[in-house]
Amino acid sequence: MDFSLTPDQELLRETARKVLERECPPALVRAHIDDAAAYAPLWRHLSEFTPLGAGPATDLCLFLAETGYAAAPGPFLATALFAALTGGDGNAIGTVALVDDPTMRFVLEKDRVERIAFVTPGPGLAVVDADAVTARFVATVDFSRRLFEVEVPQLDARPLAPAEYAHWRDRAHACMAAEMVGTARRIFDMSLSYAKARKQFDVPIGSFQAIQHKLADMSLALERATAAVQYAAMTVDAGDRDRTRAGHVAKAAAGEAARRILKDGIQIHGGIGYTWEHDLHLFLRRATADEYLLGTRGWHLDQLAAALIDG
Amino acid sequence: MQLAWSPEDEAFRVELIEFLDAHTPEQMHTGYDFQDVHDEHDLVPPWLRQWQATLFDHGWMVPGYPPELGGRNCSPVQTLIYLETLASRRLLRSGHFPGYAIVAPSLLEFGNEAQKQLVPAAIRGDTIWCIGMSEPDAGSDLAGLQTRAELRDDHFVVNGQKVWTSYAMIAQKCFCYVRTDPTLPKHKGISLLILDVDSPGIDIRPLRHINGTAGFAEVFFTDVVVPRENLVGGLNGGWAITQGSLAHERAGLWVEGVARFEQTVEGLVQLARAQGRADDPIVRRKIAEGYELAASLRALGYKGFASFAQGSSAPEHSYMKMAMSEASKAAFELGMEIAGPLAPVTDPRLSAATSRFVYGFFMSFANTIAGGSSEIQRNIIAQRVLGLPRA
């Protein structure tokens, strides 16, 4: 398997980095705490990239790592999940509602999309106008995403081939993991910079072995999760038979990386990281909440165990 | 990014498999485990030496090298395919790694023309090498080594002691790091010498592992005379070679390490079934954790390889040794937990299905120490990969 990026992929990643660095500073994420409309100027730029949702998972996941890094508000991930499920070109702004699914009780960004794709048990698929669906906003620890509890309307669902739905789930797990690893990388980078800059006992705290070993273990968790996401995306694109396990591995590895990095990251920051004024909590909140979207680490490990032991 | 290699590379894999099907010695499939030796004089059995020579003669020993060095000038991707194919079949290339894995690449990079003549026999295994690095007071702090070599006209006189020297009791030659200038800062006064192990003044005492077998030795040097032409690289230029030696050791080892770890996880699944623990939710989750770790580390290894093959440095590989040695320790511990009362049992009437876990658990202590302890690996990651300042 070849992990090297093509020149187009390098360019895509660079472009995503530049756009998000310029258009999604922490100040925007902070403004979004009290003003849901704060995402609008960013969305004018991100909406140009929604066709990625209908393209290869490898490209999409590179982009999602950057939206996660910036903790970008808005319906980019929701639209990508919608496009893959409904087979559109990625231009329709949408979200996905999984009915009676333990891994996805709430619906992402319902107030910012045109269409909602409902997956009913069976599975079946029905796509409806978002305006026709009643929903209540659900406050969470994460200010950057908006979650909703929706009332499931009368649906005229068409059957969804189980294999097709399974393939979508594999892709969705990789996508969710990609964003989550991106956010974990942001917290890691902030912690590493802080360890180099912050002095105590007249030396940078990053010269202490206790801090160095924490950061080494954090970076291992981060790098293996990053690789697991890219591998999962490759298996999805190739239709490889390892793709279901790879999707579970990716989200489970992302969960491990995020949890370790957010806990040790705030520890390295010390008191300053615990303040409202410092930007760290914007990312801690996102990484914490992401664990509970599309399956926790424990849920994904249980799926792997079933495949390994009962399969 | 893509899963499949090119058709030429897949053809390479087919050619290799055909060779292996035709030539793999029967003994390789009879549970022979290189680390499971019980007689220190039979560390490397004759059939295994013959196998290494066969691989060399067919250009399958180090396939990236030219034919005269036991290879076929294959590409880095093909070398990776080679390593993963051997690992998936649990095949060893050799019973003694220092010669082909450390001495050969170091001599090719740093040796003079006469010293390079030693390389083919090192790779073919005709010459068995040991590496004189660690000393009683120079373990993780390798640069603190004290074995002294005094230059007198046309020869060095060596005095001192090495320890944990693998294969010393069967080796013909020793790649030995010595202090040639004690007045210089410690990294700058080290040189590398080639010693004939049967030289007068060399005393080798096998050291038993905690498992009772002797795979390494203490080596004592008393006024050992070494010709000046056996100096590798420049006088006091040894430290740069140590850095290279260990890099060679790590570059390809991760493929085998990941495969072994995956095989351990598969073994855990079978053990859980056999011991009636397959429905235990804690056992299930821990096995899945092992699988998740193995799969993500495999991906990380390949990701590092992509950078390496493009000529960039591959920081990913710095993580692999530490992560796999720690992970396999945990996996063997889980095997013992699943085995329950049978875990510590070595009585062969009872332990056929379980003893590999307690044995592996004991072996795994070595893997987080040898070749750079996990703590030193974390220092290296922190300082060289993450750019944190030294204390």
Please give the mean pLDDT across all residues of chain A.
97
Contact A2 B2 (CB under 8 A): yes
- Classify B169 as helix, strand or coil: coil
- Pick from A232, A215, A300, A297: nearest CA to A259: A297
Least confident of A281-295, A296-310, B304-318, B346-360: B304-318
**Predicted confidence (pLDDT) at residue A73 exceeds the cutoff of 80:** yes
**Predicted confidence (pLDDT) at residue B253 exceeds the cutoff of 80:** no
Q: How far is CA A179 from CA A18, A71, A188, in A?
A: 17, 8, 14
pLDDT confidence bin for B371, thresholds 50/70/90: confident
Interface test with B, best of A61, A203, A223, A244 (most B CBs within 10 A): A223
- Give the model's pLDDT for residue B34: 38
Q: In whole angstroms, how large is the CA radius of gyration of chain A? A: 19
Mean pLDDT along residues B341-347: 92
β-strand partners of B50: none
- Give the model's pLDDT for residue B245: 57
Please give the mean pLDDT across all residues of chain B.
90
**Predicted confidence (pLDDT) at residue B37 exceeds the cutoff of 80:** no
Least confident of A163-172, B50-59, B321-330: B321-330
CA distance A295 to B6: 36
Least confident of B103-117, B233-247, B354-368: B233-247
- Give the model's pLDDT for residue B33: 43
Task: Pick A207's closest partner by Cβ from B5, B289, B388.
Answer: B388
- Give the model's pLDDT for residue B268: 96
Task: Pick B303's closest partner by Cβ from A230, A237, A246.
Answer: A230
CA distance A171 to chain B (A): 15
**Predicted confidence (pLDDT) at residue B57 exceeds the cutoff of 50:** yes
β-strand partners of B179: B148, B190
**Any idea what DSSP says for residue A5?**
P
- Give the model's pLDDT for residue B38: 47
CA distance A89 to chain B (A): 22
Q: Looking at this predicted complex, what is its ipTM?
A: 0.96
Q: How far is CA A7 from CA A15, A55, A235, B302, B326, in A?
A: 12, 17, 20, 19, 36
pLDDT in tens, B125-176: 999 999 999 999 998 889 999 999 999 999 999 999 999 999 999 999 999 9
B384 in contact with chain A, both atoms CB, cutoff 8 A: no
Contact residues on chain A for B300, CB-CB shorter than 8 A: 223-224, 226-228
- Give the model's pLDDT for residue A1: 80
Contact residues on chain A for B288, CB-CB shorter than 8 A: 252, 301-302, 304-305, 308
- Give the model's pLDDT for residue A243: 98
CA distance A161 to chain B (A): 25
B188 in contact with chain A, both atoms CB, cutoff 8 A: no
Contact A227 B299 (CB under 8 A): yes
Mean pLDDT along residues B210-215: 75
B114 in contact with chain A, both atoms CB, cutoff 8 A: no
A154 in contact with chain B, both atoms CB, cutoff 8 A: no
Mean pLDDT along residues A129-152: 97
As a whole-number percent, the residues of chain B with pLDDT over 70 amount to 93
Backbone φ, ψ for residue A59 (5° rounding): -65, -45
pTM of the model: 0.93
Q: So which residues of B are the catalytic ones?
A: 249
Backbone φ, ψ for residue A36 (5° rounding): -60, -25
Inter-residue contact B88 to B209 (CB < 8 Å): no
- Give the model's pLDDT for residue B250: 56
pLDDT confidence bin for B41, thresholds 50/70/90: low
Question: Between these two residues, B306 and A77, which has the higher pLDDT value?
Answer: A77
Mean pLDDT along residues B359-385: 90
Question: Between these two residues, A88 and A281, which has the higher pLDDT value?
Answer: A281
Question: Between these two residues, B370 and B117, which has the higher pLDDT value?
Answer: B117
Task: Pick B3's closest partner by Cβ from A216, A238, A305.
Answer: A238
Question: Between these two residues, B109 and B1, which has the higher pLDDT value?
Answer: B109
Contact B302 A240 (CB under 8 A): no
Contact B289 A246 (CB under 8 A): no
pLDDT in tens, A184-221: 999 999 999 999 999 999 999 999 999 999 999 999 99
- Give the model's pLDDT for residue B308: 77
Question: Between these two residues, B277 and B316, which has the higher pLDDT value?
Answer: B277
User: Counting one residue from A and one from B, how many pairs have CB atoms under 8 Å apart?
Assistant: 159
pLDDT confidence bin for B244, thresholds 50/70/90: low
Angle at CA of residue B237, ends B235 and B240, nearest 5°? 165
CA distance B294 to B127: 35
Q: Residue A166: is it exposed, middle or buried by C-beta count within 10 angstroms (0-12/13-18/19+)? A: middle
pLDDT confidence bin for B352, thresholds 50/70/90: confident
pLDDT confidence bin for B370, thresholds 50/70/90: confident
Mean pLDDT along residues A121-135: 97
Mean pLDDT along residues B361-369: 89
- Give the model's pLDDT for residue B32: 44
**Predicted confidence (pLDDT) at residue B21 exceeds the cutoff of 50:** yes
B297 in contact with chain A, both atoms CB, cutoff 8 A: yes
CA distance B130 to B166: 6
Contact residues on chain B for A300, CB-CB shorter than 8 A: 292
A238 in contact with chain B, both atoms CB, cutoff 8 A: yes
**Predicted confidence (pLDDT) at residue B353 exceeds the cutoff of 90:** no
Cα B142–chain centre separation: 17
- Within 201-260 of B, beta carbons closer than 8 Å to A belong to none
Give the helix/strand (H/E) hosting B286.
helix B281-309
Backbone φ, ψ for residue B176 (5° rounding): -120, 125
pLDDT confidence bin for B35, thresholds 50/70/90: very low
B1 in contact with chain A, both atoms CB, cutoff 8 A: yes
